[in-house]
């Protein structure tokens, strides 16, 4: 039985993509293929290229999409342009990003993403890479840990937690998710909503750092915008403020003609807008979906369209 959960805001995503027969589309975050399947069900004659760096996702998708003919690519979406070029694709009609960790990865205790399931501190989305969360926690300097927790976790206790980790690892290796959760609880307490939020933020920060998620996102968004055909759409769903801020800022930049400083009277930057922003504010799941799919509660969906002649 599949442990991949129902896709978030699937109908909205598909509507915003405006699929057309024989169009070329990309699912940059395949996961359990829920969105990809919905795309085929809406328009069976699309050509779909789907990315995921997790071998489990590729295996699952191959089963769910066996009635169709997608090109499944096991790669990080930061390799979007290169991988599509390898498949002789130079432009696309639409692309979907559903960011963050998948429900399957959270539910699989062995992956080490969740503090609710005791396992080795891993957190690799691509298990072929070397760097793990355990290595980061046990080998990084105090300054690096502080930076990771502050920048990627945005938690006020970042310094105290980093120092607590430094003290704990001097005694023994911090080997499991339970070990790390216990250290966090020693700083912020147990049982309160705030302590739960801190654990979420610290684990999130480590996951983002281990997988280089934000840098990969920035690179992939820029490549996706350049690959879009005129009238093509980019649809991005994020689940926390760091991701959403990157999406919002890149969309805003690429929807602006001149980016010269205000003191410059005549434009010298030569920057020309490529996008029209479709969603002035992010779209959110309705109460019915939130009640049936808790993951949709924090989802923010932003959409932009490639300008004609750009």
Segment 25-45 mean pLDDT? 95
pLDDT score at 71? 97
pLDDT in tens, 121-170: 999 988 889 999 999 999 999 999 999 999 999 999 999 999 999 999 99
Name the CATH superfamily housing domain 127-210. Putative methyltransferase TM0872, insert domain (1.10.150.170)
Q: What is the pTM of this model?
A: 0.90
pLDDT score at 273? 93
**pLDDT range class, residue 269, cuts 50, 70, 90:** confident
10-104+213-306 folds as Rossmann fold (3.40.50)
pLDDT score at 105? 59
On average, the pLDDT of the chain sits at 92
Helix (H, G, I), strand (E, B) or coil at 146: helix
Cβ atoms < 10 Å from Cβ of 200:
15
Alpha helices, DSSP H, located in the chain: 10-17, 34-42, 55-64, 80-86, 103-107, 133-139, 142-148, 158-171, 177-188, 193-210, 213-227, 241-254, 287-292
pLDDT score at 1? 40
Domain residue ranges of the chain, discontinuous segments joined by +: 10-104+213-306, 127-210
The mean-pLDDT minimum among 40-44, 57-61, 86-90, 107-111 falls in 107-111
């Amino acid at each position: 039985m599949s442990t991949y959960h129902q896709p978030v805001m699937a109908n909205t995503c598909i509507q915003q993509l405006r699929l057309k027969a024989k169009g070329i589309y990309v699912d940059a975050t395949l996961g359990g293929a829920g969105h990809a399947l919905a795309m085929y069900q809406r328009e069976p004659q699309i050509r779909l290229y789907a990315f995921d760096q997790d071998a489990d996702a590729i295996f699952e998708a191959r089963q769910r999409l066996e009635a169709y003919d997608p090109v499944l690519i096991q790669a990080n979406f930061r390799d979007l342009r290169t991988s599509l070029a390898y498949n002789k694709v130079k432009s696309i009609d639409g692309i979907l990003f559903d960011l963050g960790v998948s429900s399957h990865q959270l539910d699989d205790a062995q992956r080490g993403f969740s503090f609710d399931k005791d396992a080795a501190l891993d957190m690799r989305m691509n298990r072929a890479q070397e760097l793990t969360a355990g290595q980061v926690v046990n080998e990084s300097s105090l300054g690096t840990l502080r930076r990771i927790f502050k920048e990627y976790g945005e938690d006020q206790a970042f310094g105290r937690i980093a120092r607590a980790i430094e003290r704990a690892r001097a005694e023994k290796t911090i080997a499991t998710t339970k070990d790390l959760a216990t250290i966090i609880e020693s700083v912020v307490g147990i049982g309160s909503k705030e302590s739960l939020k801190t654990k979420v933020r610290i684990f999130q920060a480590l996951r983002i750092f281990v997988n280089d998620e934000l840098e990969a996102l920035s690179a992939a968004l820029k490549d996706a915008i350049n690959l879009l055909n005129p009238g093509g759409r980019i649809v991005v769903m994020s689940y926390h403020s760091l991701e959403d801020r990157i999406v919002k800022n890149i969309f805003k930049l690429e929807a602006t003609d001149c980016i010269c400083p205000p003191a410059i009277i005549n434009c010298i930057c030569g920057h020309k807008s490529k996008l029209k922003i479709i969603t002035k504010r992010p779209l959110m799941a309705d109460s019915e979906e939130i009640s049936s799919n808790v993951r949709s509660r924090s989802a923010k969906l932003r959409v932009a369209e490639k300008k004609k002649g750009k």
